[in-house]
């Protein structure tokens, strides 16, 4: 059993359990907890419980860092073999509106204490449409068996942009989107970053200081292994950031040259 096959299997299983609950229960969208910038829905907790069950079924132990339950060890009291970082439903607002653009994002590190972005060994982003993006450190990134490679579209760049909802939109972002480009805001950062890895999009920009490690941990490895570049919004290196980091912004691009151009345009 490789770490990649393990994390891919568990991500797909968590999404499957969530989808089955969604199709048979009317309370999936019930809000259980409200936070300053987000909410916890019942479907999120179903996914969290599905991961705990998957860990026990796989016969492993893990330190889990997740959006809804924070940090805990499963099975309780065991010495963890891995650190797992999960966003159970990335794009839950889309799910609640019946928009089929959401995923389960799961990353794995063999380091069980103080893991950083650089320590991620495998990651999987299981999409609602039944296919999965996945990567293993140093082994490339894949989508449903197809090897991924980023691609730039210089004639009309394609950007995913998250900049509204927290104060005024930065003027440099307004100037950027006024140029000849296509912009989208699709509601699932993990899927969006994976689409950059696939070559469907050129870059992802989020200036809101609302990203957390669990949002992008798997997708960041997928993007890197496909040839892309990811930094903080100001160009800062993220490799030493802890996996449980929160409230930061990002700039991800198909290649280093495009990343440099965007960085210069945004600052």
Q: Is 264 annotated as a binding residue?
A: no
Is residue 47 within 8 A of residue 89, CB to CB? The reply is: yes
What are the structure tokens assigned to 147, written together? Answer: 């090897």
Residues forming beta bridges with residue 125, ordered by sequence position: 105, 133
Question: CB within 8 A of 105, min separation 6: which ones?
Answer: 11, 86, 87, 90, 123, 124, 125, 126, 190, 214, 215, 216, 217, 218, 219
212/231 Cα distance (integer angstroms): 13
Q: Is 206 annotated as a binding residue?
A: no
What are the structure tokens assigned to 236, written together? Answer: 């800062």
Q: Is 121 annotated as a binding residue?
A: no
Q: Is 27 annotated as a binding residue?
A: no
Q: Is 89 annotated as a binding residue?
A: yes
137/109 Cα distance (integer angstroms): 10
Question: Which residues are known binding-site members for Mg(2+)?
Answer: 67, 87, 89-90, 215
Question: Which residues are known binding-site members?
Answer: 67, 87, 89-90, 215
């Amino acid at each position: 059993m490789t770490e990649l096959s393990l994390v891919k299997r568990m991500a797909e299983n968590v999404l499957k359990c969530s989808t089955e609950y969604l199709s048979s229960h009317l309370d999936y969208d019930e809000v259980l907890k409200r936070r300053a910038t987000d909410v916890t829905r019942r479907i999120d907790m179903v996914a969290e419980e599905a991961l705990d069950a998957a860990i026990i079924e796989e016969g492993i132990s893990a330190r889990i860092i997740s959006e809804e339950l924070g940090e805990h060890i499963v099975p309780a009291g065991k010495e963890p073999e891995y650190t797992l970082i999960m966003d159970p439903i990335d794009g839950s607002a889309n799910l609640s509106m019946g928009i089929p653009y959401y995923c389960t994002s799961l990353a794995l590190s063999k380091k069980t204490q103080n893991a950083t972005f650089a320590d991620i060994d495998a990651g999987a982003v299981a999409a609602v449409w039944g296919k999965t993006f996945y990567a293993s450190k140093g082994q490339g990134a894949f989508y449903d068996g197809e090897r991924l490679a980023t691609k730039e579209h210089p004639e009309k760049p394609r950007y995913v942009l998250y900049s509204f909802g927290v104060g005024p939109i930065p003027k440099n972002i307004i100037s950027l989107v006024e140029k000849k480009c296509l912009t989208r805001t699709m509601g699932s950062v993990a899927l969006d970053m994976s689409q950059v890895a696939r070559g469907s999009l050129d870059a992802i920009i989020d200036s809101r200081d609302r990203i957390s490690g669990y949002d992008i941990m798997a997708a960041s490895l997928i993007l890197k292994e496909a040839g892309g570049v990811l930094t903080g919004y100001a160009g800062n290196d993220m490799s030493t950031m802890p996996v449980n980091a929160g409230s930061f912004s990002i700039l991800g691009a198909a290649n280093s040259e495009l990343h440099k151009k965007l960085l210069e345009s945004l600052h």
